[in-house]
Structure 1
């Protein structure tokens, strides 16, 4: 990066959140920052392209396999447990999620 202007988003931050970006699981504002960084940074663009190709290959090769019901249940239970750890019932986010679930 010698002679280049510093980027608003650090490469390590981009690579830490690359799968969130690939899976479209981040807010639009963060996604826009990622896209801008990837467009301007050839090492990150290369890593993005590689990870995108791997993801497509896995989907093509394994995308038709049915997920066992017990595995799905275990994954969903683990996600719920992590959410409770991260934003327990006393936190504002935990209360928002509880309210959102009640609305469903």
Structure 2
């Protein structure tokens, strides 16, 4: 078996975990699935890096969503949305 074949098999196997990694981050896995995904992360550097990246992105987005836009910006955005709606309906 070639190294290329091993890499293809590993990538295919990891693809099965990508969605479950998101569910793990969101605490949406049952205890058994959580253990299975965690075991894979313990053994797979590329998936662990993806997990860390996803977790970081989610944390930054969550932190950013807590901030409110200034009222002047909100008003300008709403005006632009209305202008676009008028153009679309015309």
Q: Identify the TM-score tier after normalising by the shorter chain.
A: 0.5 to 0.7
Structural RMSD (CA): 2.4
CA distance, structure 2, for counterparts of residue 20 and residue 60 of structure 1: 19
Determine the structure 1 residue equivalent to 2:31: 28
More helix by share: 2
Q: Which runs of 5 or more residues in structure 1 are unaligned? A: 66-104
TM-score calculated relative to the size of structure 2: 0.58
**Structure 2 unmatched runs, 5+:** 69-90
Structure of larger gyration radius: 2
TM-score after normalising by structure 1: 0.51
Task: Show the counterpart of 1:56.
Answer: 59
Higher relative contact order (CA 8 A, sep 6+): 2
Note the alpha carbon deviations across 1:29-88, whole angstroms, 9 max, x for none. 0000000101110000000000000000001110356xxxxxxxxxxxxxxxxxxxxxxx
